[in-house]
Amino acid sequence: MSKHLVYVGIGSNIDQEKYIRLAVQYLRKSFGEHCHLLLSPVYKTQAVGFDGDDFFNLVACFFTSLSPFDVEKKLKEIEHQNGRRRDQEKFSARTLDIDLLLYDQEIINSNGISIPRDEIEKYAFVLSPLADLTPNLIHPQTQKTVLEMWQELSQSTNAEALEKIDFTWKG
């Protein structure tokens, strides 16, 4: 059974510390007891697209034997188990938002899945933690390293609004 390297973005702006911790616990539980998660630093940033509490964001990576569609399904289950409501506007407060960012070096646009996720190129709160975690990773579409992409984005966006925080993993 082959293993695939996946990167997921994790965010919360409702009881952020609680739900970020829970997301990591649920990822470990859902993807196997021996799932070794690598975690980026946690960042605080203002809500995008609506007025709301600040978000905490990070990126996690791990190996899985699941297909990208099964990974996506599990991520949505984790969100649901943690109180995420899908009947709200796209840009609204949420307990947990977990997005599949990358799946190996695959480019997929089918059955409601778009990989690599376009948020990687758009948002500092996705790209900065990804660059922290794996600066030399080549983006499958741009063919640039994640660090090169971050350097370009940080010059053209309000990157200073991104605040690395000293996150306490034990509650």
Q: How confident is the model at residue 46 (pLDDT cuts 50, 70, 90)?
A: confident
Rounded-to-integer distance, Cα 50 and Cα 41, Å:
24
* 33 occurs within a structural domain: yes
* 57 occurs within a structural domain: yes
pLDDT recorded at residue 66: 93
* 36 occurs within a structural domain: yes
* Phi, psi angles (nearest 5°) of residue 105: -110, 25
For Cα atoms 44, 5, 131, give the angle at the middle one, nearest 5 degrees. 35
Query: CB under 8 Å to 163, separation ≥6 — which residues?
Result: 43, 44, 45
* 14 occurs within a structural domain: yes
pLDDT recorded at residue 168: 85
Number of domains composing the chain? 1
Q: Identify the CATH number of the domain in which residue 141 sits.
A: 3.30.70.560
Rounded-to-integer distance, Cα 64 and Cα 56, Å:
25
* 170 occurs within a structural domain: no
Rounded-to-integer distance, Cα 131 and Cα 41, Å:
10
* 27 occurs within a structural domain: yes
Residues 58-112: tens digit of each pLDDT = 999 999 999 999 999 999 999 988 775 655 555 557 789 999 999 999 999 998 8
Rounded-to-integer distance, Cα 122 and Cα 148, Å:
14
Structural domain span for residue 19: 4-165
Average pLDDT over residues 32-57: 84
Choice between 32 and 122, residue whose per-residue pLDDT is larger: 122
DSSP3 helix / strand / coil % (the chain, rounded to 5): 35, 25, 40
* 171 occurs within a structural domain: no
